[in-house]
Structure 1
Amino acid sequence: MALDCVSSYLHALKENWQPVLLLVPYSVGAAALAYVWQKRKEVRTWIKVAQENRERAFREMERAVEQFKKQNPGLTSESVLSLSFKDLHKNLQDGQLSPEHVLYTYIEKALEVTNQVNCVVDYLQECEQQLQEMKRNPRKGLLYGIPVSIKENIDYKGHYTSLGFARFLDKKASEDSVVVKVLKKQGAIPFVKTNLSQSMLSYDCSNPIYKQTKNPWNPKKTPGGSSGGEGALIGGEGSVLGFGTDLAGSIRMPSSFCGICGLKPTEHRISKHLVRTTTPGQKSLASMLGPMARDVDSLALCMKAVLCQDMFDLDPNVPPLPFNDEVYNSKKKLRIGYYDRDGFWLPHPSMRRAVMETKKLLEAAGHTLVQFPLPDVEDAIYSMIRKGVFADGCAVLREKFEWDVIDPNLTEMVALCRTPVLIRKVMAFFLKFWDKNTARSIVMSCGIRSVKDLWSLHVKIENFQKEFVNQMRKLEIDVILCPALGPALTIGYPQKASDAISYTVLYNHLNFPAGVVPVSKVTEEDEKQLSLQTPQTRLEKIFYEGVKGGVGLPIAVQCVALPWQEELCLRFMKEVETLTRK
């Protein structure tokens, strides 16, 4: 009987096989749509939970401040906020100020600033427990009692490290990053995490979870990226010291746009252990962790604090090179190479003016200035930097964005990454007759064909670095003075003018320490000169539209030294800061 039933079913299937086969693609399609719907539902849920957690964190910040004020009615915020980092540090070391007074003052100020510009994404409530531990064991490290803000991609135990992706909101960090451990050992108190651009591959500062951060000088302008939350918080005086990361200028551009100082050290001078990146394994362009603050002395003290035995023990990849005070405090006159444009990207008039005015001040102070001939920056951008960063043909990036909500500032980049390589090459072929730079960018994002090609690229990068160093030695140059990108662009423009990073990404490519120092502000004359200049490419024209309306915004210069000479770089930055502030 059973065999008869099976036989009848097989006979019916044989007679009606075409309708059954037609149902297969519909079933597969329905299953695929259901899977996509489910994944996107999860993403939306994770984003909602993260946003609720942030609101809860802000309420905890308010509670902590109110409780402290009730217990200490005679203490004022102004007595803390009015102090420079140097005086704040001294008063904490001498015991004239308590770490509690300083911490809760800056928690309150950080809340005020983030209400204006949306820069804080998380409260590190464990800072309150750290205060209690410091009372029980009052060992005074070099950063004793200093509140420190950290970029969102730096792991802190029990908190999200999302990089602006909802996909990474399913779990929290299981331990502190090395830099956080070292900061705590030195008595610093990490207290908030700050916003970044989704994927950290944009010099704007926005993501689908925590939204857009604004510039504290002008809310229509970007604070820069990807460490824009740090730039905005410190620039708005809601923090005295912070840490960002820098792959193509992500510390230096926010520092320049927000009127603060920032240092990108040589790779591995500071531990990167448990500091997250979007493209792990990418070795063609050096990414680095570095400090951001309102003045150079703050950066120097921070470097002195973290370059300690604790860091060398925790991460053996960091060379045991303590901070060299003798170099930083030296008064020896410098031989300085300079340039006011890189020959690739037409700078804003204020960028060139800032360099030339600083050059005159340095010469008047007795330093020797020598014009520095740059190598072919355009070739470095397209034939080495872009080729190396996108050596996988954007495969890792496509994977990261697969089910995620895409930030509006990244739509063009993601669309290009998702376009098949063959179509990208066809697009580039036709685009070269209209905009050769855009065409080259598309070609260089198509990937590298073999491991042999990648190794050849690395050899080319090494040769470029050697030639640059040889040129500096030939001219007997100690350091380089050059433009920092600025002023801040209108929100939304950075993705349209991505090649403007040429002024900062060059020193990631070379793996040189580089820092920025604010020296001036955009003037009406700068704006007038901007209108008289003729952009050379479509992208430069877009950049010029983005920087319009910048009168009053800060302008910085960039100071550069050879690898592992962070102390000399900071000494040069200090000299520039001293002369321009006078």
Structure 2
Amino acid sequence: MRVPLPALLCCSAASLLLLLLRWRWRRGLWKKVKEARQRQERSLVQMEMAVRCFREQHPSVNMISILSLPLPELSKKLRDGSLPLEHVFYAYVGKALQIATETNCITEYLQESETQLRKAKRTGKLGLLYGVPVSIKDSIDCQGHDSTLGFIKNLNKPAAEDSVVVQVLRRQGAIPFVKTNVPVSLISYDCKNLIFGQTFNPLLYTRTPGGSSGGEGALVGGGGSILGFGTDVGGSLRFPAAFCGICTLKPTGNRLSKKGITCGVLGQKAVVTAVGPMAKDVESLALCMRALLCEDMFSLDSTVPPLPFNEEVYSSTQPLRIGYYETDFFTMPSPAMRRAVRETKELLEDAGHTLVPFELTNVDYVVFNFCFGGIFADGGTSLLKKFKGELDKSVGLFFWLAKSPNWLKTVLSWIAKPFVPRFSNIVRSMTANTVDEVWSLHHEIEEFCHQFIAQWKKLNLDVMLCPMLGPAFGIGYPGKLSVAVSYTVLYNALDFPVGVVPVTMVTDEDEEELKGYQGYFRDWWDRTLAKAFRGSVGLPVAVQCVALPWQEELCLRFMKEVETLVLKKNRFV
């Protein structure tokens, strides 16, 4: 049967029109990306010009000595007037520019910070963070600036007002001066998006800085910021801290306000998001929490419990009863991870603390059913919508699964179970749930939390010592190793405060022992994880310090103890 010529021409014309519309759409998106990159470049030029102008006017200022001061000492000098505000500000703008050039961690310079600096000098209102330059993760709103989450559609949509955390920082005298890079959607512990590109680890440029607060990790780890702020929904503060050799605190989910902060999957309650600080040392984190846990925080967001910083708990010197484990029996720790826990345990015991073994059970069930199942309880529909109209399709398997009907996911899960059980569980966890099933899941998570706390209290524990994934992976590996988040995401499901402290570095002996690494499942993920760990001699390895909900001060006190003992040991090595 011959197709009439007019019909054929109509079909061809329609196809050409669709191609033209698609080309124009893609061209429009790339134009927005180009404009955003130009703004980023202009930001760096503005930083360079500001620093050059300052140095010409103040050639004798010793920038290196300023950058070497820890936050508590720097803050004290700023408040007593012995160190001028502009000296500190431009010292950090200069260093941030250097680190941004090396690692691509900064997305935008907040030029109004210079106005805030001049205003602070005039008013002289001395908050706890008076004159301290601070960096802010992309997803935390700053008035007049985009919070993109790496999505092109979020460009040119500046925030109408500051997030509560940024408002409180400003009232405490801090000066937010840059925003930093994130992975697209934040659901990753790498740091790359189509708008601003890949961020690199300041310690080794072939390594990821972690994510999703990767820009913050790179900037603070490289010394370009003395205090940074990020968010954590599965380790997004802790991965960058561990990978870049710095400290962080993930508080209980609602200890600090999340108003004005955007997360990757809005509305899900199974895996709790938190906002927290990142710094080179624990005392800096404590100073930050003192500043933020104030009346301004509680009045600006009445959903935050009015719990001021408990100085008595933080400064206590009473011996601690500490639970610990070396593995979660799901992700086999690297030799350096296991050694980090063992050596820290020995240091704590020598210092008079009591260490008690704590055995984790059913971590695989928690990871697949509570964490993956909780985040993707809608079958991935919410996250899929965020990618609609975007150029970035880097998570191809996720897209395919999210678009697949429940019956196909169930069949795939059943077929894969005997051969690749972990992949089978991931597919099953991405089936869309009914409301009844979501409520049942939330109830199950609550029961798990009560059981975990009961086990904790049965052992009469104060805090917990546990591994932190590391060292830093090569760029691209986090996207292949989503299952390796087990050590961190557990404490988002439980909603416990947890901090990261670097305690050691990978040795030649660790590297040699890694040759025998096989993992618990001996599947593709375990083989890939072994490759991700390799070639890491000299990179930092951290531990996690955990406390019960709302006990951030005890968590920080434990972190400080670990940090002090490690520093003392290293002085005598």
TM-score scaled by length of structure 1: 0.94
Whether the 8 Å CA contact 2:107–2:180 is kept in 1: the answer is yes
* CA shift in 2, pair 1:394/1:18, >3 Å: farther
Give RMSD over aligned pairs.
Answer: 1.8
In the aligned structure 2, how far is the partner of 1:171 from the partner of 1:290?
24
Does residue 432 (structure 1) correspond to residue 442 (structure 2)? The answer is no
The offset of 1:414, in angstroms, is 3.5
In the aligned structure 2, how far is the partner of 1:321 from the partner of 1:38?
53
**Which amino acid in structure 1 is aligned with residue 431 of structure 2?**
C
Does residue 188 (structure 1) correspond to residue 174 (structure 2)? The answer is yes
Give the percent of matched residue pairs that are identical in Structure 1 and Structure 2: 51
The offset of 1:293, in angstroms, is 0.2
* CA shift in 2, pair 1:69/1:396, >3 Å: same
The residue that corresponds to 1:482 in the other structure is 466
The offset of 1:487, in angstroms, is 0.4
In the aligned structure 2, how far is the partner of 1:26 from the partner of 1:454?
48
**Which amino acid in structure 2 is aligned with residue 487 of structure 1?**
P
The one-character-per-residue Cα deviations of 1:416-440 (angstroms, maximum 9, x if unpaired) are: 3344444433333332232110111
Match of 1:416 among 401, 419, 422: 401
**Which amino acid in structure 2 is aligned with residue 453 of structure 1?**
E
The residue that corresponds to 1:472 in the other structure is 456
In the aligned structure 2, how far is the partner of 1:417 from the partner of 1:36?
23
In the aligned structure 1, how far is the partner of 2:310 from the partner of 2:15?
64
In the aligned structure 2, how far is the partner of 1:509 from the partner of 1:28?
50
Whether the 8 Å CA contact 2:138–2:149 is kept in 1: the answer is yes
**SS of the residue aligned with 2:193?**
coil
Residues 132-281 of structure 1 aligned to structure 2 (within 5 Å): 132-281=118-267
Does residue 445 (structure 1) correspond to residue 426 (structure 2)? The answer is no
In the aligned structure 2, how far is the partner of 1:420 from the partner of 1:150?
39
The offset of 1:313, in angstroms, is 0.7
* CA shift in 2, pair 1:176/1:527, >3 Å: same
Does residue 91 (structure 1) correspond to residue 77 (structure 2)? The answer is yes
The residue that corresponds to 1:6 in the other structure is none
In the aligned structure 2, how far is the partner of 1:415 from the partner of 1:57?
38
In the aligned structure 1, how far is the partner of 2:328 from the partner of 2:52?
52
TM-score scaled by length of structure 2: 0.95
| Segment of structure 1 superposing worse, 249-258 or 89-98 | 89-98
The offset of 1:24, in angstroms, is 7.6
In the aligned structure 2, how far is the partner of 1:21 from the partner of 1:394?
40
**SS of the residue aligned with 2:511?**
helix
| Segment of structure 1 superposing worse, 82-91 or 387-396 | 82-91
The residue that corresponds to 1:340 in the other structure is 326
In the aligned structure 2, how far is the partner of 1:322 from the partner of 1:28?
65
**SS of the residue aligned with 2:185?**
helix
**5+ residue gaps, structure 1:** 1-15
The residue that corresponds to 1:116 in the other structure is 102
The residue that corresponds to 1:534 in the other structure is 518
Whether the 8 Å CA contact 1:39–1:403 is kept in 2: the answer is no
The offset of 1:170, in angstroms, is 3.3
The offset of 1:19, in angstroms, is 7.8
The residue that corresponds to 1:564 in the other structure is 550
Whether the 8 Å CA contact 1:428–1:439 is kept in 2: the answer is yes
The offset of 1:40, in angstroms, is 2.2
**SS of the residue aligned with 2:322?**
strand
* CA shift in 2, pair 1:458/1:32, >3 Å: farther
Whether the 8 Å CA contact 2:70–2:284 is kept in 1: the answer is no
* CA shift in 2, pair 1:472/1:258, >3 Å: same
Does residue 53 (structure 1) correspond to residue 53 (structure 2)? The answer is no
Match of 1:496 among 480, 504, 514: 480
**Which amino acid in structure 2 is aligned with residue 539 of structure 1?**
W
Whether the 8 Å CA contact 1:507–1:514 is kept in 2: the answer is yes
The one-character-per-residue Cα deviations of 1:391-444 (angstroms, maximum 9, x if unpaired) are: 111111111112212164x34434433444444333333322321101110121
The residue that corresponds to 1:78 in the other structure is 64
**5+ residue gaps, structure 2:** 569-573
In the aligned structure 1, how far is the partner of 2:71 from the partner of 2:523?
43
**Which amino acid in structure 2 is aligned with residue 568 of structure 1?**
L
**SS of the residue aligned with 1:345?**
coil
Whether the 8 Å CA contact 2:517–2:530 is kept in 1: the answer is no
Match of 1:62 among 23, 36, 48: 48
**Which amino acid in structure 1 is aligned with residue 414 of structure 2?**
F
Whether the 8 Å CA contact 1:412–1:495 is kept in 2: the answer is no
Whether the 8 Å CA contact 1:375–1:468 is kept in 2: the answer is no
Does residue 328 (structure 1) correspond to residue 278 (structure 2)? The answer is no
In the aligned structure 1, how far is the partner of 2:76 from the partner of 2:86?
15
Match of 1:507 among 450, 468, 491: 491
In the aligned structure 1, how far is the partner of 2:453 from the partner of 2:539?
34
